Amino acid sequence: MNPITLNLVAIGIFSITMLSLVGPLIQLSPAVPAIATATILVGFTLDRFGWNGRGGTLLVSGLARLSPDYRQRVLHHEAGHFLVAYLLDLPIAAYALSPWDAWRQQLPGAGGVVVDSLNDLPQAPVELTQRVNHYCQLWMAGIAAEELLYDSSQGGEDDRLQLRQFWQKLDQPASEGQLKERWALLQARTLIEAQRPAYDALVAAMAERLPVAACCQAIDQHRQLNSASSTAGSVTT
């Protein structure tokens, strides 16, 4: 069950319970709490089995987007994913800065940067190691961007979960996965810092909701080639 939807249902039930208790004091018809209960249950059922909990996510996202600080954090977080993916030559298919954007673009999940090749792993050991390193840096790049800009990260739990699930899928020890997570965070931050002008240009492009190709062009126009090439080489060995 989607935790967001579950929390919304819990809040709804609590509100109806309070309404039922206070209703007689304010001469409120008993039909009002009953109708409200039925509406919440129907909405929950449709969201749970028809949208896989996406309706609750959209509702919470819509409320959260009222905060300019929240929108800026999301923008900088996703720009971190985008920049690192591009610098590591991972093909970017699309991006969405909110569940609403993802829904309009018919993208899976609640938004983010969509990379095409995440399920495509090479067989050769050297290439496999390189690809795993790239994926781990990609997942930690949003957290790295937030920490670079805000000295802390409010998002990224889903990113950490994806990395850990990926590591488990590789049948690697969990203790090594924790080391890889910290390593990837450091490498992603190093990439973003080395390409700060390109990152800032990308943030501006994504804020305007420019297409992926235009965002890539913004990176290229401000990219430090020598710095990028030396950094990228160091993270794939």
Token pair 């610098």 is found at 87
Instruction: Tell me which range, 7-16, 45-54, 144-153, is most confidently predicted by mean pLDDT.
Output: 144-153
**Where does the pLDDT of residue 4 fall: very low under 50, low under 70, confident under 90, or very high at 90 and above?**
very low
> Taking the CA of residue 132 as centre, how many other CA atoms within 13 Å lie in the half-sphere pointing to its CB?
22
What is residue 37's predicted lDDT score, i.e. its pLDDT? 62
What is residue 29's predicted lDDT score, i.e. its pLDDT? 62
CA–CA distance, 51 with 37 (Å, rounded to integer) = 20
Instruction: For residues 49-76, give the mean pLDDT.
Output: 64
Return phi, psi of residue 53, to 5°.
Answer: 80, 5
What is the token pair recorded at 139?
A: 């997942």
Domain ranges within the chain, ordered by starting residue? 3-64, 68-235
110 vs 209, residue with greater confidence: 209
**Where does the pLDDT of residue 98 fall: very low under 50, low under 70, confident under 90, or very high at 90 and above?**
confident
Check pLDDT > 90 for residue 67: no
**Where does the pLDDT of residue 228 fall: very low under 50, low under 70, confident under 90, or very high at 90 and above?**
very low
**Where does the pLDDT of residue 174 fall: very low under 50, low under 70, confident under 90, or very high at 90 and above?**
confident
Instruction: For residues 3-14, give the mean pLDDT.
Output: 53
What is residue 39's predicted lDDT score, i.e. its pLDDT? 67
What is residue 12's predicted lDDT score, i.e. its pLDDT? 58
Lowest model confidence (mean pLDDT) among 39-48, 107-116, 131-140, 141-150: 39-48
Check pLDDT > 50 for residue 155: yes
What is residue 225's predicted lDDT score, i.e. its pLDDT? 78
3-state secondary structure 66-118: CCHHHHHHHHHHHHHHHHHHHHCCCCEEEEECCHHHHHHCCCCCCCEEEECCC
Check pLDDT > 60 for residue 9: no
Mean pLDDT for the chain overall: 79
Task: Name the fold adopted by 68-235.
Answer: Methane Monooxygenase Hydroxylase; Chain G, domain 1 (1.20.58)
What is residue 167's predicted lDDT score, i.e. its pLDDT? 93
The pTM assigned to this predicted structure is: 0.71
